[in-house]
Amino acid sequence: MLEYRIDRRSGVATYLQIVQQTKQALRMGVLEPGDRLPTAREVVEATAINPNTVLKAYRELEREGLVEARRGLGTFVRATLGAAPATSPLRGELADWARRARETGLTRDDVAALFTSVLDEHFEGDDT
């Protein structure tokens, strides 16, 4: 079951944090079509946020066609996101690259900066 982590100090609206974390889970293959999202009750019990916030996030995900609400049953995943599940060859290549970067003596921050700059170069103008 997916667990949301809400950061009140991040400045990002709470419902957006839920939307983003759900999408992240879809990208990573943690959630697959047919999986049930936690109920609003389960989310708020664990996070102490307002139930309407959860419902707002789920509505947003539904609007984007990622999940569907089945009355009385819950909210279910309809589609995957991206083409990079945790087991894809791309992930293997990236892991390989990261190991080599470390062997050359780069620190974590160096690698992150490098990765971000390449990301910015190739995905310029795209939405997150």
Partner 1 sequence: MSETAIEALGLAKRYGRGRGWALRDCSFALPAGRVCALVGPNGAGKSTLLALAAGLLRPTQGVVRGPARTDLAYVAQDKPLHPQLTVADTLTMGRELNPGRWDGEIAARIVETLDPGARVRRLSGGQRTRVALALALGKRPELLLLDEPMADLDPLARHELMGALMADTAERGTTVVVSSHILTELEGACDHLLLLDGGRIRLDGAIDDLLAAHTLVTGPVEDLAPHTVVESRTTGRQLTALVRNEGGPVEGPWQTTSPSLEELLLAHLRASKTADRTPEGASA
Angle, helices 14-27/51-63, rounded to nearest 10 degrees: 50
**According to the binding rule CB under 8 A, does residue 46 interact with partner 1?**
yes
Q: Is 69 exposed, middle or buried (0-12, 13-18, 19+ CB in 10 A)?
A: middle
Residue of 10, 12, 33, 41 that binds partner 1 (CB under 8 A)? 41
**According to the binding rule CB under 8 A, does residue 67 interact with partner 1?**
no
Indicate the residue among 24 and 39 with the shorter CB distance to partner 1.
39
What are the φ/ψ torsions at residue 36 (nearest 5 degrees)?
-95, 135
Residue of 49, 57, 61, 77 that binds partner 1 (CB under 8 A)? 49
**According to the binding rule CB under 8 A, does residue 10 interact with partner 1?**
no
Interface region with partner 1, contact rule CB under 8 A, candidates 5-13, 28-36, 92-100, 114-122: 5-13
Tokens 């959860």: give the residue. Answer: 54
The distance of closest approach from Cβ of residue 52 to partner 1 in the complex, given in angstroms and rounded to an integer, is 5
Which among 9, 5, 8, 31 has a CA at the least distance from the CA of 18?
A: 5
The distance of closest approach from Cβ of residue 47 to partner 1 in the complex, given in angstroms and rounded to an integer, is 7
The distance of closest approach from Cβ of residue 61 to partner 1 in the complex, given in angstroms and rounded to an integer, is 17
**According to the binding rule CB under 8 A, does residue 102 interact with partner 1?**
no
Q: For residue 7, what are the contacts with CB-CB under 8 A and spacing of at least 6? A: 17
Three-state SS across 69-95? EECCCEEEECCCCCCCCCCCHHHHHHH
Give residues in contact with partner 1 (CB under 8 A).
6, 8, 11, 14, 39-42, 44-54
